[in-house]
Structure 1
Amino acid sequence: MVEELWVEKYRPRSLDEIVDQEEIVKRLKEFVKQKNMPHLLFAGPPGTGKTTAALALAHDLYGDYWRDNTLELNASDERGIDVIRSRIKDYARTLPLGDVPFKLVILDEADNMTGDAQQALRRTMELFSKNTRFILIANYASKIIEPIQSRCAVFRFQPLPKGDAFSRLKWIAKNEGITVDEQALEAIWEESQGDLRKAINTLQAASAISKNVTEEVVYAALGRVKPREVKEMIESALRGDIIGARDKLRVLLYNYGLSGIDIIRYIHREVLSQKSIKLDEATLADLLVLVAEANYRIVEGSDDEIQLMALLSKLAVLANKSKKG
């Protein structure tokens, strides 16, 4: 039997269980209290609780009738105009159950809808506003046409702070009977960058390897290179050891099977973290320009190894100039 995804198992079922989105939760609770609300647009990065907030709102509004009064669609799969004209319109025509005078339509990933579908949706929102409310969920609000944005109350979700993310992960670990150390949490945080869904999935993957989750276990679960190996490659280049840097680069490319873009991202992250590679502001600025240039060339189709070696060589020249300066 396949184990349930922890993301779904520990998803908050009520607005009271949502953390770190206090202002948003406060406004949504007012809608529940009044049993009235406008159309809503939830916007923000992935894994910040947009879909969870929409489902929790439905739970709190309708109680046991929430499934009967809620239509949940993923607009990236059902993004055409036919879905708006048929399925959503047919649903919007029906009356709600219970004492709330409207039904909910939750459109996840609405920013992936075609332009024609969004225009059709705009008209549907007008025609059936008396007994249907729409919650549109989007990573990029700018991809939602202006007429729809103007019809919605916009809620902007922020990435979860590090402390709250750690607290949630520790709580899940405790419930699952596993131990997770601080270094492992740091590694998960580095990988997820505020995306709690990704962080929980990473923790679950690591726990399948060992019930004692350490930094090593996290990187093994991710199949990713350890940051120190990228750091050592950069340090070799900054020392002027081009052959040593090349050997470390080839390990990343061929032993770990990383793409050039992956390595560029690691270099960018490691340099900006400034945890171990200390650079003055001018050198850091020049270095970031070089990283961006290498990224552009690789994306355009240039050979990964050649471009990365050119980047490492430029780092050596840059470090040499900085020492002389």
Structure 2
Amino acid sequence: MGDAMEVDTPTVARLTAVAKGKAKITAPSKSVPWVEKYRPTSLADVAAHKDIIDTIDRLTGENRLPHLLLYGPPGTGKTSTILAVARKLYGSQFQNMILELNASDDRGIDVVRQQIQDFASTQSISFGAKGNVKLVILDEADAMTKDAQFALRRIIEKYTKNTRFCLICNYVSKIIPALQSRCTRFRFAPLSVENVTGRLQYIIREEGLDATESGLAAIVRLSNGDMRKALNVLQEALFLKISNRLHTGF
């Protein structure tokens, strides 16, 4: 097994800064962020919210997938869930059947009118996919302007026959009622201590690490139900341990 990760006071201070977004992981250039490396690829891998997952899975299995609005705090599995659903639905045609946009970057009305409309208006030629509708995933939808949201509402109405839309946000109150009413809403609550601990233990085993109970508990406490934050803190703890040993010669 690898290095034991007992979290001392200076390390806790550094990890707290990472958890609050005030510091970044300084990983080697070839290292893959664990947030991406261990992102669930199937519904079985999603750490929590079994009731939501089962409901969406059943609807896709019955070819009755509605427009979706997934909301809740960061790091609670919203994006991972819909991507896992899409992979199960489309299989090898996954890349051809979805359009994924981040509304915090692509938040203007032109994006809605152009990229989304261009994608939604074309008929699917992916006959091998299980579903015959395409999927637009709009992350951080609460960052969209009101004009863009109204334009999106009209596009949803126009192309509902062959395209489904999944809006993902932290604050549902920032989504206009006209969009909310066209979507089936699911709230993703912060993950439980058991869910976060279980996932971290799995990653610790995969990475060949040793972790003390107190160190693991500290990371879970700092994450506050945010799996993304927990993974960032865990990875930062490993690099701090390696860095300290390189500098001290131990």
TM range (shorter): 0.7 to 0.9
Question: Counterpart in 2 of 1:120?
Answer: 151
Q: Name the CA distance, whole Å, in 2 between partners of 1:196 and 1:179.
A: 20
Letter in 2 for 1:92: A
Q: Distance in 1 between matches of 2:217 and 2:201?
A: 12
TM-score when normalising by structure 1: 0.64
Q: 1:159 aligns with which of 190, 199, 205?
A: 190
Work out the CA distance in 1 between the residues paired with 2:83 and 2:238: 28
Q: How many residue pairs align between the two structures?
A: 213
Deviation at 1:182, TM superposition (A): 1.6
Shift of 1:8: 1.0
- Structure 1: give runs of 5+ residues left out of the alignment: 218-325
Normalised by the size of structure 2, how large is the TM-score?
0.82
CA drift at 1:11 = 1.1
| 1:35/1:61 contact within 8 Å kept | no
Report percent identity of matched pairs. 49
SS at match of 1:123: helix
Amino acid at match of 1:187: A
Which residue number corresponds to residue 20 of structure 2? Answer: none
**Cα distance in 1, alignment partners of residues 90 and 111 from structure 2:** 25
Residue 38, structure 1, aligned to residue 66, structure 2: yes
- Any conservation in 1 of the 2:47–2:196 contact (CA below 8 Å)? no
Which residue in 1 is equivalent to 2:39? Answer: 11
Q: Name the counterpart of 2:17.
A: none
Runs of 4+ in 1 over 4 A off after TM superposition: none
Which structure has the larger Rg? 1
RMSD: 1.5
Aligned to 1:52: 80
Q: Residue 84 of structure 1 aligns with which residue? A: 112
Give per-residue Cα distances to partners, 1:263-296, cap 9 Å, x unaligned: xxxxxxxxxxxxxxxxxxxxxxxxxxxxxxxxxx
> What's the secondary structure of 2:95's corresponding residue?
coil
Secondary structure of 1:180's aligned partner: coil
**Whole-Å Cα distance in 2 between the matches of residues 210 and 31 of structure 1?**
46
Q: Which runs of 5+ in 2 are unaligned?
A: 1-28, 246-250
Tell me: higher relative CO, structure 1 or 2? Use CA pairs within 8 A at least 6 residues apart. Answer: 2
Matched with 1:273 is none
CA distance in 2: counterparts of 1:204 and 1:35, whole angstroms: 40
Give the deviation of 1:60 after TM superposition.
Answer: 0.7
SS in 1 for 2:197: helix
Instruction: Choose which of 137, 140, 143 in structure 2 pairs with 1:106.
Output: 137
> How far apart are residue 101 of structure 1 and its match?
1.6
Contact 2:142 2:175 in 1 (8 A): yes
The amino acid of 2:102's aligned partner reads: N
Relative to total residues, which structure has the larger helix share, 1 or 2? 1
Query: For the Cα contact (< 8 Å) 2:47–2:199, is it kept in 1?
Result: no
